[in-house]
Chain A
Amino acid sequence: MTGKGGTGKTTVAAALAISLATRGRKVLLCEVEGRQGIARLFDVPPLPYEEREIGVGHGGGQVYALAIDAEAALMEYLAMYYKLGRAGKALDKFGVIDFATTIAPGVRDVLLTGKVYEAGRRRGKDGGYSYDAIVVDAPPTGRISRFLNVNNEVAGLAKVGPIRKQADAVTTMMQGRRTAVHLVTVLEEMPVQETLDAIADLRSADLGVGNVIVNQVRQSPLTPPAQDAIGSGRLDAAAISASLAKTSIGASAELGVGLLEEGAAHAVRQELQTDQRKVLAGVDTQVIELAYVSEGIDMGALYDLALSLREQGLQ
């Protein structure tokens, strides 16, 4: 799940995880940017580097959450594949872990995506996959292709060797048919433009584009005929005042003028939204819309959004 900053990609990622966790399915929701956005959303203490159950889906599914931390992932990786118990500590002491995770190009992304890769391939005692689905609250649109296309990142660095092998394996999974990149946007010019740019980038990197999810869509209380009536002047302050006279407010020309002014400004904003919707209509992937939640996002709202995603076919 990617999207421009401020479009609500963490919220949509969480809603998708809940939506996927139906009928006993087990879903892992990961974050990779150290923001603890998931913990805040689910109102739980900051997540450690450890998979924890944080919610249930309809019909008994489970949502696990994990905050992936590059340093912890590297130590785990070293321990798991190289049995580097003592050496791992020595590396840390010498600042190698710090170097590798902050300055060594691409390594950070290989580690973050590598952990997703590991969780995606992990099998339980019964031989089946540990998770039925993994949802990643990924970096923003501007960085997403580079983040997933780790192979490219380390290509200039390591032509052979274990890091390269790991990067190759991760890239194969990311480019595979079981991975889809969903893009969250809002109906504003910049986020829509960035979404289109990101789709082009993803495609040229052979990464699968999933759906475009338009978040925070506000339904207008004004019907198109009402907007016409305001625009054309057919509905004027006197007419509004006459209608108001039938209510507890009472007739008021002043209110009529004020309400008309607000209505006109509202119509302008609606039109801008309509324009952006038209731009998105040119995209050849399915566009899903999520309604704006005015009361702020809580658990109830997350389940509503999950339901909305499911009803529109994303599950």
Chain B
Amino acid sequence: MTGQARTTPGAGPAWVRGGTGGGAGNASLDVDALLTDPDTQIIVCCGSGGVGKTTTAAALALRAAEQGRAVCVLTIDPARRLAQSMGLTELDNVPRPVAEAGAEGGGSLDAMMLDMKRTFDEVVEAHASPEKAKQILSNPFYVALSSSFAGTQEYMAMEKLGQLYDEAGAGSARAGKRWDLIVVDTPPSRSALDFLDAPERLSSLLDGRFIKLLLAPARGPARFLSAGFAIVTNALNKVLGAQVLSDVQTFVAAFDTLFGGFRQRADATFALLQAEGTAFLVVAAPDPDAMREAAYFVERLTHEDMPLAGLVVNRVTDLPAAAMLDASEAESAARTLDSGAETDQQVAGLLRVHAERMLVRAREQKLKRSFSAAHPAVATVSVPALAGDVHDLEGLRQIGALLTA
């Protein structure tokens, strides 16, 4: 696997500790080693919705910055208060420094929120003549494509990553690079890893037969006017109406010059994701759905030769303080105390809180064990659940510490 290029034969990468998948559970993921390795240039956090991906990305970025790295974090749709805590008050598609973060250790942190439409507009502006760009940007087909096409957000997230990477600058890690680590959050895709498919899907569609067919009249001689073509255009006119078809044709004709550029960029982004300096982290929560999604992500990334660094399981129930007491014993003692005095009943309540926690923990452990059994090679780190939500730098720091504990 190209993704494992940093692995020397016989030894795992620097950020994998212990465990060989020999049945004793998975290797643990040493997040600090991953963050401080100067060869780590891009970290991609992916996973299903609602598992704490954005928070994980932000916490990783902050921790790396505080360990001296020049970091840029690209978030997709952060919770309002978390965004504010990082100074992301406006969505202007430009990375902004997060005040004070990392300054002490000689590092820095910039953060930005993705503006999908703006990113798309910029791509068009960069690749077309001003006149043509204007024509494209005002085409209703383009407007809808850039603001609501199901894969656009995924595609633009990766496009932005490519831009940031270029902007980070060439040269050695210490020699005046703007950033030496980029951390990306990914959109909560309906189907896992849409962001990997989106560029390919878009470009294959734009290269497809239909587009060629639509372009045919614009390109002159009616040599495409076969029986098939007539059937298709008639059908389209009937279903879409002539105006839509002509809009599509204008759009496609205007976009024609960009196709080559798109395909090239999609290929470049894909190569960047597969590169040695990239590390994918799959983020999950300890519930059956999220773990099943995580398994799918892991398989898909492996299949695509993407450099998978490991799995982060968020919001895990940590070992309760009274762990020496098992759940059934606690429950039966609680029943004994139910009929007692007020204090006894309160203690019964405490015993039930404990029993519940032990059971939840046991279920989570079982889920993690099944995952390890199926994916023994994936290094894993568990992050205990905090009581409240994270919405300030202090909270991110706490998550960062838990990620590396």
Q: Which residues of A contact B (CB under 8 A)?
A: 4-7, 33-35, 78, 82, 84, 86-88, 90-91, 93-96, 98-99, 102-106, 108, 139-140, 142, 146, 153, 156-164, 188-191, 193, 220-223, 225-226, 229-230, 235, 239-240, 242-244, 246-249, 254-255, 257-263, 265-266, 268-269, 272, 294, 296
Contacts and interface: CB of A to CB of B under 8 A. Distances in A.
Interface string B332-358: 110011001011111111111110110
11 contacts: A6-B289, A7-B50, A35-B190, A103-B205, A104-B248, A189-B79, A242-B343, A259-B353, A262-B322, A272-B387, A272-B388
A161 B240 contact: yes
Nearest to A265: B387
Interface in B195-218: 201-202, 205, 208-211, 213
Contacts of A156: 140, 143-144
A188 B389 contact: yes
A243 B340 contact: yes
B3 interface: no
A257 B322 CA distance: 8
Contacts of A266: 353, 357
Nearest first, the 10 A-B pairs at minimum CB distance are A161-B241, A5-B49, A6-B50, A105-B144, A258-B322, A221-B352, A247-B333, A258-B321, A243-B347, A95-B210
A162 B241 contact: yes
A262 B340 contact: no
Contacts of A269: 387
Main secondary structure of the interface of B (DSSP, over half): helix
Contact of B209 (A6, A95, A242, A246): A95
Most central of A86, A104, A193, A261 by chain B CB within 10 Å: A104
Given A247-B337, A249-B329, A95 B205 contact: yes
A103 B213 contact: no
Interface in B267-293: 285, 287-290
B80 interface: yes
Contact of A248 (B50, B228, B285, B332): B332
Nearest to B145: A105
B376 interface: no
Contact of B243 (A102, A159, A188, A296): A159
Contacts of A221: 348-350, 352-353, 356
B336 A258 contact: no
A183 B93 CA distance: 31
Given A105-B141, A243-B340, A4 B49 contact: yes
B148 interface: yes
B232 A226 contact: no
Nearest to A152: B148
B14 interface: no
A140 B248 CA distance: 29
Contacts, number: 229
A102 B205 contact: yes
Given A106-B148, A247-B333, A247-B337, A163 B350 contact: no
Contacts of B363: 294
Interface in B288-338: 288-290, 320-325, 329-330, 332-333, 336-337
B191 interface: yes
Nearest to A146: B148
B332 to A, nearest CB: 7
Pick the most buried of A86, A223, A229, A243: most chain B CB atoms within 10 A of its CB: A243
Given A108-B150, A161-B241, A261 B321 contact: yes
A140 B187 CA distance: 13
Contacts of A34: 190-191
Interface string B130-156: 000000000011011101111100000
Contact of A140 (B49, B240, B242, B344): B49
Nearest to A10: B289
A243 B50 contact: no
B346 A157 contact: no
Contact of B210 (A7, A99, A248): A99
B239 A78 contact: yes
A87 B322 contact: no
Contacts of A162: 238-241
B346 A90 contact: no
Specify which of B288, B321, B337 lies most central, judged by the most chain A CB atoms within 10 Å of its CB.
Answer: B321
Given A94-B228, A247-B337, A158 B149 contact: no
B205 A98 contact: yes
Contact of B322 (A84, A106, A255): A255
B11 interface: no
A45 B232 CA distance: 36
A157 B232 CA distance: 20
Given A95-B210, A239-B343, A248 B336 contact: yes
B336 A255 contact: no
